[in-house]
Structure 1
């Protein structure tokens, strides 16, 4: 079972006793996972489909709690490789169905949600919970942080974005091939969303994996940083030793000043030491020692240039 399915299963078992919250949750759930069925004389029905059994039972339970008209319940076998069952709730077009959809503010479609009671935070949370159950997804916490709600209704997507911003979630909205996507791509935002919709167990699992993941990433960053610093130390030591050896081989080592010779002798005596360690041995600052090695490097380069010039002249 995917993490998204776990979240939906938990959300589907959260009881909703308040009538306004139940209306908000059912409206978002049916809008996200359903479609209106046009009928004669301006009547309308609705067909809701989901592959999650718990979500289907929650939708049916809330509908029966709110309305007397009974939906048709169908189960269809999926045609794709996984062959999931799809649970379908069908409310045929009728006068009673139309009245129910009007009370949920789902009909007419162009006026959807305009009369919905979303002034209280608990109703807003119920609305977001219903939307996620109907068409939300969230990545496994071990992977990249990503949560999204996809709908073909632009105004519905804008309302979802507004509610998520109300709870200070870093959500954004974009369109994808005619659908509208409201998404969060940041760990704190995903974690907070799970809290807001009441998925406590999913939130705890997400945070547990996230803590371990962040700790592992921090350890890797520290190791990489230390490895890079070690490589820099080794490269500097090799380069400085090569400069000193070039000066020695040229027979000009005795021409170095006492300070430069002191630095050179310390480097040759401690080839694996860092600049800080050699500076401590010499009793000067790192910047002062670095300045001495720069002078040694300049002299070595001059010698290399002279040797190259001499070789060219003899050819």
Structure 2
């Protein structure tokens, strides 16, 4: 008889995860709660994200697929500790795209499977699937943290802090996405939900919020790596901004100096610097002698010293005189 498959929220992503996501998931897979209720919450989230029920006649089996070996080991351990069930673990090699391994954790048909899934908040007594998160599964604050950890292990990713700040959990059910979003908001995280083709994406964009989410889920080593990279990135960006600003100011100063020396040279050829008023002549001579000096430095060399505005006023007057000469107008008498 042909088998029928009922998916919880199997993702089956084709694209390999970023290395930082893998590092984070490997760490979270090693986090084992001591409370039974928290283990139930995490296992329920993992199955809801990556699990499917296979019906073959009257026999029902549970299949969970994941691309991470550490997550598959955790699933095996949780089934054994919570229900005394020996899960089957198989490895498949994908033949398309990057050919990464797919780990298949399977619970074969057995008596009590429906009751087990009911305890995990996944199915009702008539085998109908639960769309959102069963609140009885989130008995305490640690259970909520465990559920988020399981959801991330099943369908989450986080960008390397070297690039754009982005963390997301992808699910196929709108109600489940809304529940995960609400769960993140209970921890004061401003999560949002967007639609991406057939998927619903719960995401965070702010770096501080991503750090807090990593802390909530228990990825402390990944959090430190994220923070170190973020600090280095921010410092590098700040240095780049300062260098760009200094370069822009330097270019502006050089361009202004070239324009001023050209104007003064024209005035000197046509009129003669000796015919200029004393203040203009002094600034003109200083600019020709020190073409790379700033306005402040020129003002300090004047006698008596001038402020930047005074130096700028005289240089602008020389520029206007040169413009009149270029236009063929005779300057006023000196």
TM-score calculated relative to the size of structure 1: 0.88
Q: Give me the CA root mean square deviation.
A: 2.4
Partner in structure 1 of residue 309 of structure 2: 287
CA–CA separation in structure 2 for the residues paired with 1:92 and 1:178? 29
- State the secondary structure of the residue aligned to 1:24: helix
Q: Secondary structure at the match of 2:96?
A: coil
Q: Which segment is superposed worse, 141-150 or 53-62?
A: 141-150
Contact 2:93 2:100 in 1 (8 A): yes
Which residue is equivalent to 1:160?
Answer: 180
State the distance in 2 between where 1:192 and 1:8 align.
Answer: 16
Structure 2 counterpart of 1:147, from 159, 167, 170: 167
Moved more, 96-105 or 70-79: 70-79
In the other structure, the counterpart of 1:184 is 204
Report what 2:151 is aligned to: 131
What secondary structure, in the 3-state scheme, does the structure 2 residue paired with 1:116 have?
helix
2:101 equivalent to 1:85: yes
TM-score, normalised by the number of residues in structure 2 = 0.83
**What is the rounded CA distance, in whole Å, between the counterparts of 1:32 and 1:301 in structure 2?**
74
How far off its partner does 1:144 sit? 2.6
Residues 1:66 and 2:82 aligned together: yes
- Could you say what secondary structure the match of 1:306 adopts? coil
Q: Give the match's secondary structure for 1:131.
A: helix
Query: Is 1:53 matched up with 2:69?
Result: yes
Aligned twin of 1:20 = 37
Equivalent of 1:30, from 47, 53, 60?
Answer: 47
Moved more, 230-239 or 249-258: 249-258
Of the three residues 11, 25, 28, the one matched with 1:8 is 25
**Equivalent residue in structure 2 for 1:242, among 249, 256, 262:** 262
- 8 Å CA contact 2:131, 2:176 repeated in 1: no
The equivalent residue for 1:312 is none
Contact 1:20 1:123 in 2 (8 A): yes
- Structure 1: distance between partners of 2:120 and 2:259: 76
1:39–1:93 Cα contact (<8 Å) kept: no
CA apart distance, 1:85: 2.3
Segment of structure 1 superposing worse, 115-124 or 168-177: 115-124
Q: Quote the residue 2:218 is aligned against.
A: 198
Q: Is the 8 A contact 1:71 1:91 kept in 2?
A: yes
Distance of 1:261 and 1:139 partners within structure 2? 62
Q: Measured at CA, do residues 238 and 182 of structure 1 come closer, stay the same or move farther in structure 2, by a change above 3 Å? A: same
Counterpart for residue 12 of structure 2: none
Larger mean Cα displacement after TM superposition, 231-240 or 257-266:
257-266
Once residues 192 and 269 of structure 2 are traced to their aligned partners in structure 1, the CA distance between those partners, rounded to angstroms, is: 66
Residue 135 of structure 2 aligns to a residue in which SS?
Answer: coil
Other structure's SS at 1:156 match: helix
Is residue 298 of structure 1 aligned with residue 333 of structure 2?
Answer: no
2:227 to 207, 211, 226: 207
Q: How many residues align?
A: 307
